[in-house]
Structure 1
Amino acid sequence: MENVRAYGAGLAGANFDKNTFFKKPTVLFRCAALVFGLILWYSVSKGGWHKPSEGIHPVCLYGRSSSTCSFATAVGFFAVCGAAGLIVLDAKMDQISSIPTRRRAVLADLVVSAIFTGIFLIGFFTFWSKLSSFETDEDDENPIKTNNAKFGILSALLSFLAWGGAAFFAWRRYEEGNQATHEPNYDEQFGQVSSDVQEGYGYGGDSSGIGHVGAAPAQQSSYQSGAPPQTMQQPPANPYTQSEGYGY
């Protein structure tokens, strides 16, 4: 019965309970990762750029590197897609009856969560260092608004925590699933006993052993049957018990 619930899934074909589903730690972390990824994508795409007064093209607030802003928006977008996909996959887990398929699904969840955890950790330090190094031109009259860029940095940090929590619980589910599938059950431990022993209960390892069901009573040997009955003899009394001192 442990294999039926291996890798964190319930009985195959069970009814979907949304109240129980959205109380799972992995689902909560993924929902948080989805929200933070959406905030990162919006903050950088809308407020991560600055247009100089005499310039034609806007410049990225993260160290004037347009690739950094593009990277931030792309990471936020793919984080939203990844979190939504993993939520749907987790909702479908109860309908998967194949243990190898469940294992691959949980392994994919673990790999994706670990990858996004590393990306957001690197992105957080990259955005922070490049925003601090941004310098404006002396003749630039347009004010710089860095609120959205700072909010993007905060979103990257929170996304790192959310994806890290999701990766931790995915790893726990993967380890528990491996332990459940490799743990021997009752049938595997006691199902290898031969049918002769099960049917006859013989002490000799098969139905012909002594004590099996239907066995004839053991016959006495010839010398036992022909010998006269023997009476029990009492051992001689200790002669020293009546004397002074202690008996042996």
Structure 2
Amino acid sequence: MDGLQAYGAGKAGGAFDPVTFFQQPHAILRIINWLFSVVIFGCIANEGYINRPTEEQEYCIFNQNANACNYAVFMGCVCFLCCSGLLALDVRFPQISGVKDRKKAVLADLGVSAFWAFMWFVGFCFLANQWQASKPEDNPLKEGGDAARAAITFSFFSIFSWGAQSFLAFQRYKLGADTAIFGDYADPGQEADQGPYSAFPGETVESPPAGGVDGTAGSPVGYQRQEY
């Protein structure tokens, strides 16, 4: 199946078209996930740590739980890198000629996307729980409230965006599997029935019997000697 449409990509070696590429659903979702990770990381890194006027030490806005802020910052940063890597893989994907290599790339996309959908579900539950448990007296100036709510909101959106990304990866995997089964492998029984002489589709030529048509050894079928 090298060179044919496999796993949702066209013929290997085609020229990269940025306009067509960024109109594809999986490329759009990559950009969305990339932006969500930037928002979550930026909100917590810039406004996720606050302190009281009489104190110099900063603490996490989520119930003073440093693990909550560290989790959001780490997830946002690593997710940003994963989105960049997957986007680069999408650009490189049509140039991959090997079907097995394309299959590995699609399976990696499926696994990573499903993993991040689960991790953002955990992150959303964790951040929402810690924000609900936060005490008003711990944040008398109401600093960082919008940033905390934005991080929770975009964590929730990330669940569905990464879930949609894993669904598209699964569809690409099914498309490639169906093509491999029905597109490239002929039925062995049909090849055996056709015999060694195959003329045109649907037409076969049988090999001549050993004795010829008139019983004479070595005379081919339908061949008559011409007497001069």
Q: Which residue of 1 aligns with 2:159?
A: 160
Distance 1:4 1:148, change over 3 A: same
CA contact (8 A) 1:51 1:142 kept: no
The reply to whether residue 180 of structure 1 matches residue 186 of structure 2 is no
Report the alpha carbon displacement of residue 3 of structure 1 after superposing the two structures with TM. 7.1
- Counterpart of 1:49 in structure 2 is 49
Please say which structure displays the higher CA radius of gyration: 1
Q: Is the 8 A contact 1:53 1:141 kept in 2?
A: no
Q: CA deviation at 1:45?
A: 0.9
Q: Name the stretch that deviates more: 187-196 or 20-29.
A: 187-196
**Structure 1: segments with no counterpart, 5+ residues:** 218-248
Match status 1:170 vs 2:169:
yes
In 2: Cα distance, 1:104 partner to 1:25 partner: 20
The alpha-carbon deviation at position 137 of structure 1 amounts to: 3.8
1:146 is matched with which residue? 145
Is this contact kept in 2: 1:3–1:180, CA < 8 A? no
Task: Work out whether residues 50 and 58 of structure 1, in 8 Å CA contact, stay in contact via their aligned partners in 2.
Answer: yes
Deviation at 1:56, TM superposition (A): 2.9
Shift of the 125–215 alpha-carbon distance from structure 1 to 2, 3 Å rule, reads same
Counterpart residue type for residue 133 of structure 2: S
Within a 5 Å distance, the mapping from 1:8-157 to structure 2 comes to 8-137=8-137, 142-157=141-156
Q: Distance in 1 between matches of 2:18 and 2:120?
A: 29
Cα separation, 1, equivalents of 2:182 and 2:76: 41
Using structure 1 for the length normalisation, give the TM-score: 0.76
1:201 equivalent in structure 2: 205
Match of 1:243 in 2: none
Report how far residue 40 of structure 1 moved. Answer: 0.3
Is this contact kept in 1: 2:8–2:176, CA < 8 A?
yes
Q: Calculate percent identity across the aligned residue pairs.
A: 25
Q: Where does the alignment leave 5 or more consecutive residues of structure 2 unmatched?
A: 214-219, 224-228
- Using a 3 Å threshold, how does the CA distance of structure 1 residues 141 and 179 change in structure 2: closer, same or farther? closer
Moved over 3 A (4+): 140-145, 184-192, 196-200
Question: Using a 3 Å threshold, how does the CA distance of structure 1 residues 52 and 178 change in structure 2: closer, same or farther?
Answer: same
Distance 1:164 1:9 in 2: 21
- Counterpart of 2:221 (choices 195, 215, 218) is 215
- Equivalent residue number for residue 232 of structure 1: none
Q: Is the 8 A contact 2:61 2:144 kept in 1?
A: no
Alpha-carbon distance change, 50 to 186 in structure 1, aligned in 2, over 3 angstroms: closer
* Aligned pairs, number: 212
- State the Cα distance separating 1:159 from its structure 2 match: 1.5
RMSD over aligned CA atoms reads 2.7
